[in-house]
Amino acid sequence: MGSYIPATGEQEQEMLGKIGVSRIEDLFAGIPAELKVKGGLDLPDGVSEMEALRGMRSLADRNRIYRKIFRGAGAYDHYIPAIVSEVISKESFLTAYTPYQAEISQGVLQSIFEYQTYICELTGMDVSNACVYDGAEAAAEAAAMCRDRGRTKVLVSGAVSPYILSVVKTYCFGSGCEVEEIPAEGTATDVGALQKKLGPDTMCLIMAQPNYFGTIEDAAAIAEAVHAAGAKLVMSVDPVAAAVLRSAAEYGADIAVGEGQPLGMPLSFGGPYLGFMATKQAFMRRLPGRIVGETKDRDGKTGYVLTLQAREQHIRREKASSNICSNEALCALCAGVYLSAMGPQGIADAAQQSMSKAHYLSEKLAEAGFHTLNGRAFFNEFVTDSPVAPASVMRALSAKGILGGLPLGGAHKGEILWCATEKNTKADIEEAAEAAGAAAKDPAAAEGKEA
């Protein structure tokens, strides 16, 4: 294939002539010369399809794929029913464009509407949007929803994912809002420190339930303190944990956000994933992005349309509260198919198994010398100390084909964040704990050779 642009040279010249120019370069005449790349791009010559495929496979061979995974930290190895990939691989969904024209996009619009309904059921909220790029961006967009006259400070719990904190800081820098981190007390939000930081300038608090360390926070008490200061509570939730814990709305959150990857999306070396957002009806008009609504046509038949879409997101950028331009429809469909296939009982079973297996892993690791540091109940993740350097433990596990927990840094340096899901068997857990224990006793000998 010589070119990905399906136009001949003659057709290009005809189009250029219609607009009154003779060369493609003339289209860029308004760009100052000093901003243009000189000498062309340093790109290799084109290759055939066969050569390109060979090169891609060579790159893929450098990836290490683990069949036994005990790491989470925001991306989780849950079981995905086969029907999920079967449905989302259909051409009508895989190649669908943004559904601007409702009359020819009813299937895509209905799938988004059903996805939004599922998110509302998981979070207890009244309305959900058509999703955003990932969970960290969803948290940042939620902070923007909380802007109010005289309130310019965003508080972020030190027990949220560092990726959430980083993205929130980036967004707030652009909007002129201050971000202040509330320190974690062990593996949970320091409520005392939070109460001291809350004030008349506080827009919101961003927290997670369960949090980055797997701990189940005293979210009701946190919500009470935040609301007493006149601020809003943004809660980042694990959608699988939401099937067995109280909903974000029941805890008292004003906005619920999160990462949708656990809902049918494989790890895929980092994406693509999707963020979800849901809120109460009182904040519905502040919700960014698109919302699909259900209506009736003139014949009384059910139909679906884009509704409550802020046009300034597209044409008045300087006045926009958000500039989301994608609805992540394929990933949202993936989440919707997963939730449909699992059903309420299936997703609850996955959550219960993940939690019980994480507690069994905690017990076996404690026997091997790795003691759990979570001071409260935890879901499917927990933090342990490590009697030896965490990196040597990870190498020992890797030698047996096991991806171990995540070595933490900062105030938690020398500690490990472990995770278990319904996919981890009793034998897998015992093997991982045994290998970690051997590494603790003799790191060099336990590392051995890569499996």
Instruction: Specify the pLDDT at position 268.
Output: 87
Q: What tokens does 341 get?
A: 């296939």
Instruction: Specify the pLDDT at position 43.
Output: 87
- What CATH class is the domain 82-338? alpha beta
Residues 1 and 52 sit within 8 Å (Cβ to Cβ): no
Nearest to 241 by CA among 72, 409, 49, 106: 72
Instruction: Specify the pLDDT at position 91.
Output: 86
Q: Where are the beta strands (DSSP E) in 124-182?
A: 127-128, 153-157, 178-182
So where are the chain's domains?
68-72+343-447, 82-338
Instruction: Specify the pLDDT at position 402.
Output: 97
Residues 428 and 373 sit within 8 Å (Cβ to Cβ): no
- The DSSP letter of residue 97 is P
Pairwise CA distance, residues 264 & 335, whole Å: 6
- In Å, what is the CA distance from 93 to each residue of 3, 59, 107, 197, 265? 26, 28, 9, 47, 16
Looking at the DSSP assignment, which residues form a beta bridge with residue 293?
A: 305
- What CATH class is the domain 68-72+343-447? alpha beta
Radius of gyration of the chain (CA): 25
Looking at beta carbons, which pairs linking 193-200 to residues 24 or more positions away fall under 8 Å?
194/155, 194/157, 194/222, 194/225, 194/226, 195/225, 197/155, 198/155, 198/225, 198/226, 198/228, 198/229, 198/231, 199/153, 199/229, 200/150, 200/151, 200/229, 200/230
Pairwise CA distance, residues 47 & 315, whole Å: 40
Q: Report the DSSP pairing between strands 402-403 and 68-69.
A: parallel
Residues 27 and 21 sit within 8 Å (Cβ to Cβ): yes
Instruction: Specify the pLDDT at position 315.
Output: 59
- Tell me the residue type at 108: V
Nearest to 275 by CA among 164, 423, 175, 354: 164
Residues 190 and 182 sit within 8 Å (Cβ to Cβ): yes
Burial class (CB in 10 A: 0-12, 13-18, 19+), 47: exposed
Q: Show pLDDT as tens, one digit a residue, over the chain (451 residues).
A: 345 667 888 999 999 999 999 998 899 999 998 998 888 888 888 899 999 999 999 999 999 999 999 999 999 999 999 999 999 999 888 887 778 788 888 999 999 999 999 999 999 999 999 878 999 999 999 999 998 888 999 999 999 999 999 999 999 998 889 999 999 999 999 999 999 999 999 999 999 999 999 999 999 999 999 999 999 999 999 999 999 999 999 999 999 999 999 999 999 888 889 999 999 999 998 898 888 999 998 999 999 998 876 555 555 666 666 767 666 889 999 999 999 999 999 999 999 999 999 999 999 999 999 999 999 999 999 999 999 999 999 999 999 999 999 999 888 999 999 999 999 999 999 999 999 999 999 877 666 654 4
Instruction: Specify the pLDDT at position 307.
Output: 86
* Neighbouring C-beta atoms of residue 425, cutoff 10 Å: 11
Q: Report the DSSP pairing between strands 184-185 and 188-189.
A: antiparallel
Instruction: Specify the pLDDT at position 270.
Output: 83
Pairwise CA distance, residues 42 & 276, whole Å: 39
Burial class (CB in 10 A: 0-12, 13-18, 19+), 276: buried
* CA dihedral sign of residues 318, 319, 322, 326: negative
Tell me whether domains 68-72+343-447 and 82-338 share a fold: no
Burial class (CB in 10 A: 0-12, 13-18, 19+), 38: exposed
